Structure 1
Amino acid sequence: MTQPSAVGERYLRRTFEGMWELFAEGQGPLGTNGASRRYAEFGRVALPPAIGRPRQSGGDRPPGTVPSWLPEFLWLGFGLHSLEVGPSSGWPYHRTTPSARCLYPTEVYVWLAAGDGLPSGLYHYDAPHHGLDLLRSAVASEVVGRAVGRDLAGVTAAAFVTSVFHRTAARYRNYAYRLCSQEAGMTVGCLAFAAEACGFRPAVCYRFLDQAVQQLLGLPDGIESPFAVLTLTESEGPVVPPELTGSVSVSAATANLSPLTVPTEESTTATPQFCPEALELDSSSRLVRLDSIRPCVGDATGCPPSAIAPLDPVADGTSEFDCGISTFDPGALIGRESGPPNFQPIPVSMTFAQLCGIVRRATTGEPPGDLRLPSVRAPLSIFVVANRVTDLSAGVYRFAPGGPRVVHNAPVGRRLQRITRSTNINACASPAVLYVCTDAKLYLDGFGDRGYRIMNLEAGALAQRLSIAAAAHALAARVSNGYDTPALRELLGLGSSWDFPVFQIFLAKLRLAPRYRFPLGGCT
């Protein structure tokens, strides 16, 4: 177990309980919407459109052609899916994952094993232009495996999720690390969904040698950091690649890696002055030894003693929990919608069956990972403020095995509107507001300062699954951090100062507005 320093708890309190004081220290101008790095001097692979293409097995493809699953996986998991225009359109470019003010600090890199069409190597995915840049060719699984700390011999591909801090820090300063880790978590959830849609068994790795992965990908230190690795497996066997035996040092993992120079972006040199506290936490979160964090081996539920409890995905056979959508329906992912900047939804009701279906679909999609044994679930819980849900009285509920449990059996919409502080969001008009909550002490005690990052990553993956499930019921899902944490903690009945609502998601039916979205089917 890695002991947390004062850095992790201080940043946790600052970005949740002291968020408004943090904002009062100053905010900068907005950056470039939909920014993405271009590797002009590297080998370029144009990907075919992600939709409307017949699937091909490996033996049916000409040598050197793109695997048929790859464009779909990358586009569904991280691609640019629509262009929005119109008088009420705030930000034009939209991907399959939401982003604070559409600043998109997240980047995705993919390693392909040998023998699947394209040359084995490490690629950067250029989402706005739906293409790949070859960074390193003929990268053996042993090289990638040493950085990740896993035996990747049976893995088809691996996706690396990183974050470019300055894109968000230019606006949000020291608050940026929370937003970057939240978005990275939602991207992990999206990529895992896309991997399943493409027939893979995904697994998430949060324990890796940060410096080794940085050198592997050529990430500039203090500018861009790796947050997670998603492995894709086709063959039978363990979903989570086996851990390497013996200790692996950073020097050993990077011994044969040649330097990789990547393009720089404007304002990157100013990142330290934008967010020194965020960079301090990022530095203190890095692993130099894989055994400094061990998998959790708690009881079968991983339940902490507080109100936070992992949600059992089995609902005791109650038919209301039917999700009503295909397990791997890409249409639900493409249909995910956050709504316009001025979030004023139609004040209509949703059904209890819809609400339970959304929660069940989200809680049955958790991919396995390297943090816990298969029997131990992440210490996340889902609460709901029900404003207009048929067959469910207005109030506050915590989801538990068998259905919602009452926290407050009375309308709380007006109280929630005061807690929500974001004047551009009408909380009372939302039929239901979902909250992903956790006991942050479990993360910091179990994973040290890295626990702050992991908490947001795991909560973000669950939040993205909730958003996708809502889209299947033609509901928008607006993620907003604009709430008073102590007041919301009291509303949800969270008794400990370590219990935190990490995500707030407004479900809603959107009004017609002069904003028009043109779908982009993953075209170059």
Structure 2
Amino acid sequence: MTGTASAARPAEVTVPDGPFPMDLWSEAVYSRRAIPDTLAAGAPVPGTTDPSQDPLPAGPRLPLAPPPLRLPPSLDSPAGLADPAVLAALLHYSYGLLQHDPAPGGRPLHRAVASARCRYPSELTLVTPEAAYRFDPLRHQLVGLGVPSAARRPFAPGPPAFLVITSRFARTARLYGDYAPRLCAQEAGMLLGAVHLVAAALGLPARPGADLGTLLGLCANWLPETGEHPMGYVELGPEPSTGADPSTVADPASPRAGGQPWLPPDLASVLRARHSGAAIFDPAPLAAPARLLTDLGAALADAPFDDFSCHLLVSRVTGTEPGHLVHDGGKTRRVQDGDPLPLLEQIGQTEGRMSMNFRATACTAYIAVRRGEAVAKYGADAFRRLHLTAGAVAHRICVVAARHGLSARVHNGYDAARAAHLLGLSPDEETVLFQVALGTARPGASFRVPVVF
């Protein structure tokens, strides 16, 4: 689902080579390297600076309304984004600061989506036909980019607006080195999924998109020349603008095209409870609630894109026998019975080591995409597009886990080629891009408190 904003798109759009060369598939997806040396040492790459030194662009600051404590809020506002409370809620619960960890030596600030070592390389920018506004989650404000007056309203009824996702690879590269593009692409997809889900809770029509020409047009007048890469966008408004990319428009019969969206009863509380677990994912070996798989099926069927499959290796879910389930085409089916631990420990082994304690997980999801078809159609840009698709799905899995009191760990410590073989994926066509393990977190020494503006 996508659209274009003619007011924001220049007459000529030059498509660059992009930050994702074809050999990145081999290095970032199929490499068996467990972790970069810099991460193992717990130190930044030599010669780099601290990410806190990345300044926000200069411009007039527009304070946002305090976000509501519940989603959907008790708002009856036909104005949509023109209502300050709706705009504040959308930005805050998509990528705002939700948790604070005061423990010494911990990672103090946590946002609404998962991020590798809390580097948060993504940026979220509201683009309207008049101007662009960068979201500053620390201060819960908008920063005008080329806005002539601080008094200008960030949105008024009329043409659709866009939330554009860009990425500063350098933030993540300071710790992960040349593995950063993979991690940044994954987070961009999760952020796109977060915007889509929160917009649904607020009753806002939202159309996520990946079309490169549209994306570059939206970024043409405000994106820095270096250090920030366009990744994706979500069009917000009552009707899609003209020029939709037919490759990503939903089938009218699909629930993505206007059916009842999947939402937890109180999305705000669920997002505040979302947790990736401890540094080493070693959950308590407890059974997950029976409704977990029902919610996963509904959330996956309502994902913003449909060109993916999700393999669920179920170990311990109340009322469900262990086995291998596959969600594809909006439906979930069982393909194999039996304990999935042998599969999990073969897939999740890199450099002779296990990446986590699979013997205690409740369920592990592997999100696969059709790499061969996408590369034939989009070339190197398939990397970005497919990570947007898989990331949006991964965020939904994390939200479902949080709803049922579970932690969800996105972890790249798996052998993608072995996963494709053991999960029965189409040879040379399908590729696993995400491994998400779900389990009951053990009590930890640190604690988190909510951030309330």
Which range, TM-score by smaller chain?
Answer: 0.7 to 0.9
- Cα distance between partner residues in 1 of 2:450 and 2:54: 19
SS at match of 1:389: coil
1:92-241 map, 5 Å: 92-112=108-128, 121-137=131-147, 154-209=158-213, 212-221=217-226, 223-233=227-237, 235=238, 238=239, 240-241=240-241
Q: Is the 8 A contact 1:8 1:448 kept in 2?
A: no
Give the alignment partner of residue 294 of structure 2, picking from 353, 356, 367. Answer: 356
Q: Is the 8 A contact 1:34 1:128 kept in 2?
A: no
Q: Deviations over 1:117-152 (max 9, x none)?
A: xxx53211111221111112379xxxxxxxxxxxx9
Match of 1:296 in 2: 247
- Cα distance between partner residues in 2 of 1:488 and 1:186: 22
- Cα distance between partner residues in 2 of 1:196 and 1:170: 35
**Which of these two proteins has the greater Rg computed from alpha carbons?**
1
Match of 1:148 in 2: none
- Cα distance between partner residues in 2 of 1:242 and 1:398: 36
TM-superposed deviation, 1:103: 0.7
The 1:208–1:399 alpha-carbon spacing in structure 2 relative to 1, beyond 3 Å, is: closer
Give the alignment partner of residue 498 of structure 1, picking from 429, 436, 440. Answer: 429
The 1:442–1:34 alpha-carbon spacing in structure 2 relative to 1, beyond 3 Å, is: farther
SS at match of 2:125: strand
The 1:132–1:323 alpha-carbon spacing in structure 2 relative to 1, beyond 3 Å, is: closer
Q: Which amino acid aligns with 2:199?
A: A
Match of 1:267 in 2: none
Match of 2:9 in 1: none
SS at match of 1:107: strand
Match of 2:65 in 1: 48
The 1:100–1:35 alpha-carbon spacing in structure 2 relative to 1, beyond 3 Å, is: farther
SS at match of 1:155: coil
SS at match of 1:137: coil
Q: Deviations over 1:33-81 (max 9, x none)?
A: 7776323x4211222321259748589x9xxx97221111100011011
Structure 1 residue runs of 5 or longer lacking an equivalent are 114-119, 140-151, 245-293, 302-311, 315-321, 367-376
Q: Deviations over 1:233-273 (max 9, x none)?
A: 1x3xx4x32118xxxxxxxxxxxxxxxxxxxxxxxxxxxxx
- Cα distance between partner residues in 2 of 1:475 and 1:505: 12
- Cα distance between partner residues in 1 of 2:284 and 2:216: 48
Match of 2:321 in 1: 393
209-218 or 192-201, which moves further after superposition? 209-218
Give the alignment partner of residue 334 of structure 1, picking from 266, 269, 272. Answer: 272
- Cα distance between partner residues in 2 of 1:95 and 1:411: 35
Structure 2 residue runs of 5 or longer lacking an equivalent are 1-14, 150-155
- Cα distance between partner residues in 1 of 2:29 and 2:22: 11
- Cα distance between partner residues in 2 of 1:171 and 1:461: 24
- Cα distance between partner residues in 2 of 1:9 and 1:386: 34
The 1:132–1:420 alpha-carbon spacing in structure 2 relative to 1, beyond 3 Å, is: same
- Cα distance between partner residues in 1 of 2:367 and 2:407: 17
Q: Is the 8 A contact 1:56 1:68 kept in 2?
A: no
1:273-288 map, 5 Å: none
Q: Is the 8 A contact 2:366 2:435 kept in 1?
A: yes
TM-superposed deviation, 1:10: 2.1
Q: Which amino acid aligns with 1:176?
A: A
- Cα distance between partner residues in 2 of 1:25 and 1:96: 26
TM-score norm. by structure 1 comes to 0.70
- Cα distance between partner residues in 1 of 2:224 and 2:131: 16
Give the alignment partner of residue 16 of structure 1, picking from 1, 24, 29. Answer: 29
1:29 matches 2:39: no
TM-superposed deviation, 1:509: 1.1
Q: Deviations over 1:346-386 (max 9, x none)?
A: 101124432132231232142xxxxxxxxxx6320010111
- Cα distance between partner residues in 1 of 2:293 and 2:255: 14
**How many residue pairs were aligned?**
413
- Cα distance between partner residues in 1 of 2:131 and 2:112: 25
CA RMSD of aligned residues (A): 3.6
TM-score norm. by structure 2 comes to 0.80
Q: Which amino acid aligns with 2:127?
A: W
